[in-house]
Chain A
Amino acid sequence: MTTSGKNTKKINLNVDVHHLTRVEGHGNIRVRVVDGKVTEARWDIVETPRFFEVMLKGKHYTAAGILTARICGICSIGHCLASVRASEAAFGVTIPEAAAKLRLLAKHGETMQSHFLHLFFLAAPDFLGLTSAIPLKDLNPEVFGIAARLKKLANDICDLVAGRTTHPVSLQVGGVAKMPDRHALLEIRDRLERSVPDLTATVELFKTLEIPEFVRETEFVALKGENDYPFIGGRLVSTDGVERDESEYLAMTNEYVDKNNTSKWAKLSRESLAVGALARLNNNYDFLNDQAKAVAVELGLAPVCHAPLMNNVAQLVECVHVVYDSIRLIDELVDSGNAETMAPVKPKAGRGVGAVEVPRGILYHDYEYGDDGRVVRANCVIPTTQNNANIHYDMHALAEQFACEGMTDERLELLCSMLVRAYDPCISCSVH
């Protein structure tokens, strides 16, 4: 797409989207351009609040992960992992090495499941001029088949390791309830290897998609990799140079309430910040495996990238990374035989924080426990909560850039919708 920058002719535009489609949850877009000037550009979250932090109060630690998984139907594994990590930090529990590997494998399954769902079913239709991916079944059965196979593989990894794809059962305080069957692990390994042609075809498909050019300088926040591309726990970092310990997450999020939104907003060094695949990649590019780096180069993604729509590409790069990393993890797990996967848990009064990189960005759970192992106070800071203000400010900049001659309401609506969808917002999650 070309942009002519400044207006040559005064233009009036009007975009009003009630309950944006192909995103999780309920959000509205409103843009007004009068005489070539953007008078209004809003991204508002109108999702109903559920009050999870209040519902957690008084709950036993064995219920916390089961309850908070229900914050999100797409990233329930990530929520469960942040929850059990917070509880383990509060109780001073160290999980067995095999459990840590299994958790990362489950996390990889979820990353693939969520990213492939977003790339093929939520984002791609805009680029292909479709209202959904459903017509692809007849228009392009090959692509529909690739999407179905990759998503199924991702879901099967979650089923095997976490006991279930949506709302996991095996990820518990102390570790993971069971070591999956060796043959089942090897079968998944085999399918991961055989998924490479599908991955390659996906990269080829995305190479043909024309991503609208829009850049706005942004502060990106993520876990800080020490030896690996980070997913579970560790220090926190921003591209503006802020660095904190996991337990100091509040200094990275600075949530506040906006009167038009049931989701809170967040900020750090600037008026807003961004988290997600692009933020992880921008902060940790060097830790991607070679196969993923090659795809990043092929698709023109290099850190630090300030183009929010490139989050789609960053998700695909991460998919490649986790496919190969899952193979590595399975090899190590199979070698470890019937290793212990649960550590003994003794609840005690205390506070713990768990930070996990879920598909849409960094997620924090923070619990305070009483001696009886029941929650006294809880706080959950969701990736989309951290992104909402940034999407809102992006919307204004995008409207200004594109409010020029030749633009139509329909075209601007599509561009605004594509911007929001690029963040892959998880809106009911952000309100929780």
Chain B
Amino acid sequence: MKHLNIEQKRPRIAVFDFTGCEGCELQLANKEETLGAFLDAIEVINYREVSSEKGDNYDVALIDGAITRPDEIERLKAIREKAKVLVAMGSCACFGGVTKLKNAYNLDEANREVYGDCPKETIPTMAVGDVVTVDLKLPGCPVSKDEVERVVQHLVWDLPLPTYAYPVCLQCKQRYTVCRFDMGELCLGPITRAGCNAPCPAGGLGCWGCRGPAENPNYEEFFALAKEKGFSEQEVKDRLAFFGGFEDVL
């Protein structure tokens, strides 16, 4: 890839899937208006969902999914050893995601309920960071392709990495979305990290907090607001637990 006739360095990227819906991986093939440029800027070493190429000489490992079986721990550790930079991509990789909701149930009983007397191997869900060191977290369910692109831009052109200290609320204001609280709904927008461009409130659904907490969220004020609007403690707790990003306040 050349810009103004100067060869650019192309980061060698590998994508690996663990336990999840592989929706984050799919995002990498979306945003088609820049897909060609995105693929030009990187070298795809591994991307099982889309390519049969396989290799071990990658610099960046994008990890999709949570860890729920012993063989995944071993696989993840081997990837960590090879990768210079390991990125947890999406809420499952960053926090355990919805996959972590199973930890609230007895796993032997869960196995019996689904598989009867032929149980399958499973362990309590862990985030990628519970197993190996994570260099960069890109939470979201699914991950924002825009943020993945900005990581690539950082690697190629040294542009700043995406950081969003402020909450989703601000992005709703930016796009003139009517506040879901004013519509009588619960919304985690005041405490959830922005960067998604707030599609859920705009689509008629309060925020479920898939990106985890913003910087220094004002929990006290948020809990007071939820209570004042008539939402029970259980409702708020259910919502905070959904994607696994708010464990610290549960």
Contact = CB atoms under 8 A, between A and B. Distances in A.
9 contacts: A51-B105, A54-B102, A54-B114, A70-B23, A70-B97, A74-B23, A162-B203, A163-B200, A428-B22
B98 A70 contact: yes
Given A122-B50, A155-B32, A166-B27, A137 B39 contact: yes
A57 interface: yes
Nearest to A56: B101
Would you call the interface of chain A mostly helix, strand, loop, or mixed? Answer: loop
A163 B19 CA distance: 25
A152 to B, nearest CB: 4
B105 A57 contact: yes
A48 B203 contact: no
A387 interface: no
Given A49-B122, A70-B98, A134-B39, 8 more contacts: A51-B107, A55-B101, A67-B242, A73-B142, A151-B32, A164-B199, A166-B27, A428-B22
B82 interface: no
A257 B116 contact: yes
A429 interface: yes
A373 B212 CA distance: 27
Contact of B204 (A22, A122, A155, A169): A169
Interface stretch (A170-178, A282-290, A301-309): A170-178
Contacts of A76: 21, 23
A259 interface: yes
Interface residues of A, number: 59
Contact of B114 (A51, A151, A169): A51
Given A50-B19, A55-B101, A166 B50 contact: no
Contacts of B33: 148, 152
A418 B15 CA distance: 22
Contacts of B44: 132, 134
B172 to A, nearest CB: 13
Interface of B: 17-27, 29-30, 32-33, 35-36, 39-40, 44, 47-54, 68-69, 72, 97-99, 101-102, 105, 107, 109-111, 113-116, 118, 120, 122, 141-142, 199-200, 202-205, 208, 235, 238, 242
A167 B36 contact: no
A281 interface: no
Contacts of A73: 20-26, 142
A59 B234 CA distance: 11
Contacts of B205: 66, 163, 169-170, 172, 177
Contact of A51 (B30, B52, B122): B122
A67 B26 contact: no
- 6 tightest A-B contacts by CB? A73-B23, A163-B203, A177-B204, A132-B51, A169-B203, A152-B32
A18 to B, nearest CB: 10
A269 interface: no
Contacts of B52: 21-22, 125, 131-132
Nearest to A126: B52
Given A148-B32, A152-B33, A70 B51 contact: no
Nearest to A261: B120
A144 B36 contact: yes
B71 to A, nearest CB: 9
Contact of A60 (B18, B50, B238): B238
A162 B202 CA distance: 11
A24 B22 contact: yes
A28 to B, nearest CB: 13
A155 B145 CA distance: 13
Contacts of B68: 48-50
A11 to B, nearest CB: 25
A320 to B, nearest CB: 20
Nearest to B199: A164
A67 B238 CA distance: 12
A244 interface: no
A48 B32 contact: no
Contact of B30 (A57, A66, A155, A172): A155
A29 to B, nearest CB: 13
Contact of A178 (B26, B29, B203): B203
Given A49-B120, A172-B204, A429-B21, A167 B49 contact: no
Contacts of A163: 199-200, 202-205
A366 B17 CA distance: 28
Contacts of A262: 120
